[in-house]
Chain A
Amino acid sequence: MKPGGVKRWFRFPSRTRDDIRADVDDEIQFQIDMRTEDLRRSGMSERDARVQAGREFGDRATATRTSVRREKRIERRRYVARIFSEFWQDAVVGIRLIRRNPGFAAAVIATVAVTTAGHTAIFSVVNSLLFKPLPLATAAHELARVRGGASQMSWPDYRDVLARQRVFRELVAHRRLVVGFATTGAPARLWGEQVSLNYFRALGVSPDLGRTFTPADTRRDVVILAAHLWHARFGGDPSVLGRVLMLNGRPFEVLGVMPAGFRGAAPPGPRNDFWAPVNETVSDQLLSDRAAARFEVFGRLNPAVSRAQAAAALRVIAQQIRAEHPTIRDTFANMEVLPVDGLGAFRGMANLILPVLAFLALMTVVAGLLLLIGCANISGLLLGRAAARSKEIAVRLAVGAGRARLVRQLLTESLVLALAGGAGGTLLALWLTGGVNSLFSRLPVPIEFDLALDRRVLAYTLGLSTLTALVFGLLPARRAASVDLVSSLKDDAAGRAGRQKLRRALVVGQVAVCSMLLVWSGLFVRSLYHVGGIDPGFDPEGVLLARIEFDEGTHAADFGRRFARDFQQAVERSPGVDAAGGATVVPLSIDNEEFDLFRVVDRPGTQPFRQRVFANRLTPGWFDTVKIPFVAGRDFRWSDGDWAPGVAIVNETLARQFWNGGAVGRRVLGPEKRVLEIVGVVRDSKYWTLGEEIRPTIYLPFQQAYLRSMTLHIRADVRSATNAITRASRSLAPDVFVDVAPMKATTGLSVLPAQVGAAVSAAFGGLAMLLAALGVYGLVAFSVSQRTREIAVRRAIGASTFDIMRLVIGEHGTLTLIGLAAGVGLGGVGANVFRSFIAGVSPADAMTFAVVATVVASAALVASALPALHAALVSPMLGLRDS
C-alpha cells in the first residue's frame, strides 16, 4: 500500500475546482463556436459571425461564475450520493456473506454483542445520572435549587424569603418524610416528601389521576401517590381517589396519582412514594423553629433572570432576615442558586456521587479491556478469512478494482457485522440494567434509576459499534487489500508469514488481558472469603431489629425518650424475649456517626488530646443483647437521664489511645461541649465494615443524646417475638412507625461492595477467558489448516498422533505463557488501585496468581488441543491429496 494512510481509503474521485471551470468554459465555447458556424453559413464573414455570436451570448464572465458555483454544489451532492450507493452495495454484499458463512458471522456478532453490552449498561447509568432530562413540563434551565450556606432552610426562613423575593416565579420548599403506612397487612415504611402547595405548579406537571393541591389543602391532611405505589398497593385501581390512608396513625385523603417516572426536581436516586402538603394547622414544631433547617428549596426563575442574578438578589434578602433574627447562623446569607440537572445537581453531594463515578470509571476501563479482547478476536478471525479469500481478492484486483475501494468494501462488511452485534448488545444491556436496579432494592433506602433506553444510549451504542468495526476491521482489510497479486494467484504460502505474526501478537494480548481480569476477580473473591471468617466482636444471630422512626414535627424529644423506654420495657416483658437494648447505629449497616472527642485535662500529667471517633447512642441492655462483654465498669441505666451527669462507655481501643487503659472515672469532652464521665469499657467490635481496623468508639446514653430514629435490638425467638413487638408499639403509640427485621439481613450489607466487585470482575473475567480461548482456538485451527501437507508428510514418515499434537500445542503454548505472565504481573500491580476494597488480601496474593495461572493455562491447552487433535487424526493420504 502506498503511503497516505486512512484518508486515502476514503477519498472518492471527484472533479476539482479547476476541472469544473474548464468544463463550464468548454460548454460555453461550444455554444459560441456552433453559433458562429451557423451565422457564417448564412452568409456572414468569419470575423463578423464570431463578433455577432459573442454579442448574442451576453455576459460570459457572470454566466461562467454562477455556473461554476452551481456545478460545485451539484458535484458535492453527486459525491455524497456515490458514497451512499457504494456503501449500500457493500452492505448488501456483507449481508450476503453473513448468509453464506453463518458460523463466522455468529461468532463476530456474539462477540460484539457481549462486549458492547457492558459499555451500554454502564452508559445507561451515567445517562440516567447526568444526561436524562427531568420528566417535567418546566424547562430544567428555568429551575434552580436554592441553598443558604450549603445547607437546607427552616420553614420560617423559607416563608420570609418567599415573601420578599422577586426573582422566582415560584419558590418551593420540600423535605424528606418517612412514615409508617398501616394497611390490613404488615405495616410498611413509605418514603415521600412534605411539600409547599406550589410544588406541582412550579414543576408544571399534572397528575395522571385526580388533581394536585389547591390553597384549601393546607387545612387538612391530603396526599398524592406515586405511580409505582398506586400499582403495587392499590393494583392501579382508579377508585383510590378519595380513599383515606393511615400514615403514621393519621388519616390522609388521596387526591391524585402522579405519572410514572415523576420524581420532582431532585437529582436521580432516591425514590418517592408520596407527596403531602405542609399542613400549617397541625401543631408541628418544625414549622415554627428557625433552628430546624430541614427544607430543601428550589424555584422557577422569572423570565430573563439568570441564576447569578437570582443569587445576588437572595443574598441581600438573606442579610435582612438575618439582621432581624440574629439566631440564624451566619452562613445563611451566603445564598447559592444551583442547577437542577447535570453534574451541577450533585453539588454538595460529592461524598455520594464521587464513589459512584469512580466505580463507573473503573467499570468503563474493565469493559474497555473486554472490548479490546473482543476486537482482537474478531481481527484474528477476519485475518484468517482474508487469507482464505486472498484468491478472490487477487482476482478482483487483477480485473482492476482499486485497493482503496476494496478496503472500503471489507470495512463495510465489518460494519454490517458490528451493527448487528450492537443491536444484540443493546438487548443484552437491557437485561443487565434490570439487574442493576434489583441490586439497589437490597439497600435500606429506596433507590431507583431510570435506566430505560433513550436516544442518547442508542447513539452511544451505534457509535461504539461503528468504532468497533473500524478497530477490528481496519487492519485485516488493509492486509487483505495489500495481497501480492502474483504469489496469491499462485497459491504460495510464503506470503502469509507476516499475517501469522500479527495473529500471534493478538493472542498474547488477549491472554494477558483475561489473566489480569481474572486476577482481579480472584482477589475480590478471596477477600470475600476472608471477610466471611472475620469475627465482628458481636453476635447478630437470633437478634431482631425494631427500627423506630419519630416524626420530627409532631413528636417532641421528651416523647421520644419516654416511648423508647416504655417500648423497650414492654418488649422485655413479652414471652420469648431474652434481652433488649436500643442503638441509633446498627453495626455493619451503612449507618455511621463520628465526631471529634477531646480528652479532659483532669489529672496532673495529662496533655490535651483530640481524636476522631465512631459513636453510637444506646439504651441500657444493648451490650448484653448483642453479646459485647464488659472489660470494666457498668452499663447505662435508665437513671442516666437528661438531667443526670453526663456519662459514656468506650471501647478498649479508645481507652488505650486516651489513657493506656484504666478509663473508668476519666472524663472527655463530647459533642456540644458536654463533659462525660467514663463509666464502662467494653470489648472491641466491628462498627462499619468487617474489613476495617478497629477504631476508637464511644457510646452515649440515648436518654442524654436523643435522635429521632433508633433501633431496638431484641434477642428473642424470631417467630413468636415479631407479633409481640408490633403489638407493644401499637398499644403505646399508633402513630410511631416500627418495622421489624432480622439483624443478619442488615449486617450483610457491609460486604455488598466486595460482592459487587467480585461478581462484576468474575463475570468480565470469565467472558474474557472465553474470548481468549476462542482466539487461541482460531489461531491454532488456522495454522493447522495451512499446514495440512506438512502434517501429512510427518504422519507418513512415522510421527504418532501424540507427536503431532505436541508439535502444534508446543508452538502456541509459548504464546499463552507470555500473555499469562504479562497479565498476572499487570493484574497484581493494577490491584493496588482498589486495595482498600479487598480487605485482608494482598494485591500480590500468591494463591490467586497460582489459581489464575492454572485456569488460564488449562483453558488455552484445551483450546489448542482440539484443533491439534483434529489435525493429527487426518489420514496422511487425504492430507496429501488435498493439496
Chain B
Amino acid sequence: MSDSMTPLLRGTVDLLILRSLRQGPSHGYDVSRWVRERTDGVFALEDAALYQALHRLEDRGWVRSEWGLSDNNRRAKYYQLTPEGRRQLRTEVSMWKQYAEAVVRVIGSA
C-alpha cells in the first residue's frame, strides 16, 4: 500500500465494519471489499486488522457468526449484526457526525 494513504483513527475500523453489515449478513471478504470500494482506498486498512476486529466485535456481542456456503460453494463464515450491534452502530454514527461537524466548524472559521 502506498504512503499517501491516511492511517485509520482508532475505533474507526469497528464503525466501518458495523456499517457494512447493515446491508445484511456478509462474510469477511464482502466486508473488506465493501470498505475498500466505499473509501476509494483513502484509508490504509489491512485485512489482518479487519479480521481481528470482526472477532473482537463478536466477542463483545455486537455481531454473531455462522458458517455457511459462499456463492462459489466454499465454506465461509457469515457475520450479522445483533440488536446490540445495531444500537452500537447508531451511537457511533451520531458521535462521529458531531465530532466531524465540530472539527469542520473549527477549521472553517480559521
Contacts and interface: CB of A to CB of B under 8 A. Distances in A.
A58 to B, nearest CB: 3
B76 to A, nearest CB: 5
Contact of A70 (B27, B29, B58): B58
A71 B1 contact: no
Contacts of A67: 51-52, 55
Contact of A35 (B29, B52, B58, B74): B29
Interface of A: 23, 26-28, 30-31, 33-35, 38, 56-60, 62-63, 66-67, 70-71, 73-74
**What band does the interface of chain B fall in when counting residues whose beta carbon is under 8 Å from A?**
20 to 34
Contact of B46 (A23, A26, A58, A66): A58
B12 interface: no
A71 B74 CA distance: 21
A459 B37 CA distance: 59
Contacts, number: 63
Contact of B48 (A57, A71, A74): A57
Given A56-B1, A58-B48, A59-B48, 9 more contacts: A26-B77, A30-B27, A30-B74, A30-B76, A31-B29, A35-B32, A56-B46, A67-B51, A70-B58
B29 A30 contact: yes
Contacts of B67: 23
24 contacts: A26-B75, A27-B28, A27-B77, A28-B51, A30-B28, A30-B74, A31-B32, A33-B74, A35-B29, A38-B33, A56-B46, A57-B46, A57-B48, A58-B46, A58-B49, A62-B52, A63-B52, A66-B55, A67-B52, A70-B55, A70-B58, A71-B55, A73-B59, A74-B58
Contacts of A28: 51
B70 interface: yes
Contacts of B22: none
Interface in B47-99: 47-49, 51-52, 55-56, 58-59, 67, 70, 74-77
Contacts of B74: 30, 33
A27 B46 CA distance: 15
Contacts of B32: 31, 35
Contacts of B29: 30-31, 34-35
A244 B76 CA distance: 88
Contacts of B33: 38
A74 B76 CA distance: 18
B46 A59 contact: yes
A33 B52 CA distance: 18
Q: Which of A31, A62, A63 has the most CB of B within 10 A?
A: A31
Interface in B15-50: 27-29, 32-33, 46-49
A854 B33 CA distance: 89
A58 B32 CA distance: 13
Contact of B47 (A26, A31, A33): A31
B70 A30 contact: yes
B51 A63 contact: yes
Given A27-B77, A30-B76, A70 B49 contact: no
A34 B47 CA distance: 12
Contacts of B48: 57-60, 62-63
Contacts of B75: 26, 30
A260 to B, nearest CB: 47
A402 B29 CA distance: 38
Contacts of B76: 27, 30
B50 to A, nearest CB: 9
Q: Which of A33, A38, A70, A71 has the most CB of B within 10 A?
A: A70
A70 B51 CA distance: 11
Nearest to B1: A56
Contact of A57 (B27, B47, B59, B70): B47
Nearest to B47: A57
Nearest to A71: B55
A410 B41 CA distance: 59
Contacts of A56: 1, 46-47
A38 B76 CA distance: 17
B59 A70 contact: yes
Contacts of A62: 48, 52
Interface string B1-17: 10000000000000000
A275 B49 CA distance: 72
Contacts of B27: 30
Contacts of A38: 33
Given A31-B32, A56-B1, A74 B47 contact: no
B2 to A, nearest CB: 12
Contacts of B49: 58, 63
A56 B59 CA distance: 25
Nearest to A61: B48
Contacts of A60: 48
Contacts of B56: 70
Contacts of B55: 66-67, 70-71, 74
A31 B28 contact: yes
A60 B77 CA distance: 17
A57 B44 CA distance: 11
Q: Which of B59, B67, B76 has the most CB of A within 10 A?
A: B59
Given A34-B29, A59-B46, A27 B51 contact: yes
A60 B67 CA distance: 21
Nearest to A57: B47
Contact of A74 (B52, B59, B70): B59
Nearest to B28: A31
A169 B55 CA distance: 57
Contacts of B70: 30, 34
Given A23-B77, A58-B46, A31 B51 contact: yes
A63 B50 CA distance: 9
Contacts of A26: 75, 77
Contacts of A35: 29, 32, 47
Contacts of B77: 23, 26-27, 30
A27 B77 CA distance: 7
B47 A66 contact: no
Nearest to A65: B52
B75 to A, nearest CB: 6
A401 B71 CA distance: 34
A26 B51 CA distance: 12
A73 B60 CA distance: 10
A179 B103 CA distance: 83
Contacts of A70: 55-56, 58-59
A270 to B, nearest CB: 56
Give the 8 A-B CB pairs with smallest separation, nearest first: A58-B46, A58-B48, A63-B48, A57-B47, A70-B55, A34-B29, A67-B55, A70-B59
B93 to A, nearest CB: 25
A35 B50 CA distance: 14
